Amino acid sequence: MEIFVHSHLATSSVGCGTNERNYFRKVERAKITLNLIFETQLYASRIKQVDAKRRNVNYPSNMKTTLPIEVDPEIMSGAPVFRGTRVPVQSLFEYLEDDMSLDKFLECFPTVRREDAVAVLEHSKTELLAEAHA
């Protein structure tokens, strides 16, 4: 941008007239606008980082790393979903409660991987049995 400014001044025959002042004002406004855009993007990035830290706060830390579940306020209003999808984990349990098979669930929700659904069921079984023995 500076090169353009200098070349513009070099080719100007008016000197430091009204056109140049207007030009410099426009350049200054553009710089301010770019700074505001950058600061807004930086702020949005920081908010996303904070939101990422808040995700899954109500879940045990081992669940966050081992289960294919994510909780994001921007996805399905924060309901736990299978990672990388918009499929609520609750849907799996509802299908099973309605006497539908895991295969039927996977057929209806092709974005959910079988391994992920099985991992959720295994975790639920482990937690239920651990609670029953406590």
65 shares its domain with 30:
no
93 burial (CB, 10 Å; 0-12 / 13-18 / 19+) is middle
Phi, psi for 70 (deg, rounded to 5): -135, 150
Query: What is the per-residue pLDDT for 50?
Result: 57
Over the stretch 6-42, which tens digit does the pLDDT of each residue have? 444 444 444 566 777 777 777 777 667 666 666 666 5
Query: What is the per-residue pLDDT for 41?
Result: 65
Query: What is the per-residue pLDDT for 3?
Result: 42
10 shares its domain with 76:
no
36 shares its domain with 71:
no
The DSSP line for the chain is: -HHHHHHHHHH-SS-S-HHHHHHHHHHHHHHHHHHHHHHHHHHHHHHHHHHHHHTTTTS-HHHHHHSSEE--TTSGGG--EETTS--BHHHHHHHHHTT--HHHHHHH-TTS-HHHHHHHHHHHHHHHHHHHH-
65 shares its domain with 49:
no
Name residues of the chain where pLDDT drops below 50: 1-14, 56, 60-64
6 shares its domain with 71:
no
Give the range of the structural domain holding residue 25, as residue numbers without chain letter: 2-53
Residue 123's CATH number: 1.10.10.10
124 shares its domain with 72:
yes
